[in-house]
Amino acid sequence: MSDPRLEYPLLWAMGRPRAEQRQPLRSKVPLARATDDLLYELQLLGATAIIISCNVEPLKQFLSYPEPYVLPQDPGVAVYFTLNGVSYIFACDAIDAVQGNMRAIGQLLREKRLLTEQYPCASIERELAGYKTAMVPVEASPRRKPWWKVLYVSPDAPLAVIEAAYKGLAKIVHSDLVRDGSDAAMAELNRAVEEARLTKR
Give the per-residue pLDDT at 12. 82
The whole-angstrom separation of Cα 84 and Cα 82 is 7
CA-nearest of 49, 34, 146 to 92 is: 34
Which tens digits make up the pLDDT trace of 77-129?
Answer: 999 999 998 999 999 999 999 999 999 999 999 999 999 999 989 899 999 99
Give the per-residue pLDDT at 180. 56
- The interaxial angle of helices 183-200 and 159-173, nearest 10 deg, is 170
Overall size of the chain counted in residues: 201
CA-nearest of 18, 125, 21, 102 to 56 is: 102
Whole-angstrom CA distances from 42 to 46, 79, 88, 100, 166 are: 6, 10, 12, 17, 37
Which tens digits make up the pLDDT trace of 24-54?
Answer: 999 899 999 999 999 999 999 999 999 999 9
Using pLDDT thresholds of 50, 70 and 90, give the confidence band for residue 140: very low
| Residue with more model confidence, 197 or 174 | 197
- Are the CB atoms for 136 and 87 separated by under 8 Å? yes
Give the per-residue pLDDT at 1. 53
Give the per-residue pLDDT at 181. 62
Residue 192: pLDDT above 50?
A: yes
The whole-angstrom separation of Cα 81 and Cα 188 is 22
User: Among 2-11, 19-28, 177-186, which is the least confidently predicted range?
Assistant: 177-186
Determine the 3-state secondary structure of 113 from DSSP.
Answer: helix
Give the per-residue pLDDT at 141. 45
Q: DSSP assignment, residue 64?
A: S
Give the per-residue pLDDT at 35. 94
Cis peptide before 75 (omega within 30 of 0): no
Q: DSSP assignment, residue 19?
A: P
Query: Over the chain, what is the mean pLDDT?
Result: 85
